[in-house]
Chains A and B, each alone.
Chain A
Amino acid sequence: MNFDKRELLRHTVATLAYRGGKAVANAPEGFDQFHANDSTRTPGQILAHIGDLLDWVLSIARGKQAWNNSTPLPWPEEIARFFAALEAFDSYLASDEPLHAPEEKLFQGPVADALTHVGQIAMLRRVAGGPIKGENYFGAEIEVGRVGSDQSANRIEFD
């Protein structure tokens, strides 16, 4: 087991929690149903897909790969599912259980996918007229293991 790589993967998961939490917090009413055009997914569909990706990566890590296309939940429940899935994956990474795929593959697939989709939700916030603030993420208080909704409020944000 490679603890250094595993810890860095956990840091990526914590980054996903921080950035994802910011992208979905305080969204305008009805944002989850926002359709930028006929061919784009709604934020609710994207967040559900992120939840599916996180369930998938845990199943791969455990050695029993399983994919499921879920139906989007109401926005607050989908957000709760997002953090619950992050916590489940992070707990597995924190354990002594073996990883059934290399860290590089877990990262380049579902984890990176989830990050790209967080970026999409952030962009849709702007298209929908409810943008999130910019931030210096270098200085953000992102910590391994902090993957729930209780993220640091101590932020260096700007308009």
Chain B
Amino acid sequence: MEIRRKLLNHFLAALAYRTQKALRDAPADFGSFRAADGVRTPAELVRHMASVLGYARTFFVGGKYWPEPLDSLAEEVQRFHENLGFLAQYLRNGDPLREGMTEERLLQGPFSDAMTHAGQLALLRRLAGAPVPPENFIVAEIKEERLGPDQAEPVSPDKVWPEAPDGWKP
């Protein structure tokens, strides 16, 4: 695989990992949590993440992408990971990009968009009263071929978490 595309695939794997990190052990009703008027719920946010990745797909396969809302957060998450998998496969295949698109623009546009939204999911966890435990991501087990919902547990979770909820144990 071309070396820049290999790094882009690593970006997608990091996105899969961080999204699952933000969703792991979330409260059952987290998908519909509304932090404030005009702020997307987690389900809406994941759908938007799938949408920007689906838009990115159109630069490989053409057409348009406009995902309809699904019934549950779990289904939204599944679709998000499917789109990650499609993109990674196109990159691995060496499929050409259309309409003047470049790897750099994929990175600065939809891929980075989705990464910022993964951070927003984590913020919503905190606002919903169920924060995500911190870890050292630099040693996290992030693998290019691991793009689905089944992501590794943290290699190096923080031992100290000043804002931890009651009952948290490292």
**For window 30-56 of chain A, which residues contact chain B by CB distance below 8 Å?**
36-37, 39-40
Interface residues of A (CB under 8 A from B): 2, 4-5, 7-9, 11-12, 14-15, 18-19, 36-37, 39-40, 60, 101, 103-110, 112-113, 115-120, 122-124, 126-127, 131, 136-140, 142
Asked whether any CB of chain A lies closer than 8 Å to the CB of B167, the reply is no
Asked whether any CB of chain A lies closer than 8 Å to the CB of B57, the reply is no
Across the interface, A40 reaches (CB within 8 A) one of B7, B36, B118, B126, namely B126
Supplied contacts A110-B138, A119-B118, 12 more A-B pairs, CB within 8 Å: A2-B3, A4-B3, A5-B7, A40-B126, A101-B138, A107-B10, A107-B11, A108-B14, A113-B137, A119-B116, A119-B117, A123-B120
Quick check: A116 and B108 within 8 Å, CB to CB? no
Asked whether any CB of chain A lies closer than 8 Å to the CB of B109, the reply is yes
Quick check: B36 and A127 within 8 Å, CB to CB? yes
Assuming the A-B contacts A8-B103, A120-B122, A123-B123, are A142 and B108 also in contact, with contact meaning beta carbons closer than 8 angstroms in the complex?
yes
Can you list the 8 inter-chain pairs with the closest CB atoms, starting with the nearest? A116-B119, A119-B116, A109-B138, A138-B109, A119-B119, A108-B14, A137-B109, A15-B108
Quick check: B35 and A116 within 8 Å, CB to CB? no
Inter-chain contacts of B94 with A (CB < 8 A): none
Count class of interface residues, chain B? 35 or more
Across the interface, B10 reaches (CB within 8 A) one of A104, A116, A117, A131, namely A104
Inter-chain contacts of A123 with B (CB < 8 A): 35, 39, 120, 123-124
Most chain A Cβ neighbours within 10 Å, of B13, B39, B110: B39
Inter-chain contacts of A103 with B (CB < 8 A): 7
Quick check: B4 and A5 within 8 Å, CB to CB? yes
Quick check: A116 and B118 within 8 Å, CB to CB? yes
Question: Within the assembled complex, what's the spacing in Å between the Cα atoms of A40 and B131?
Answer: 9
Quick check: A115 and B103 within 8 Å, CB to CB? no
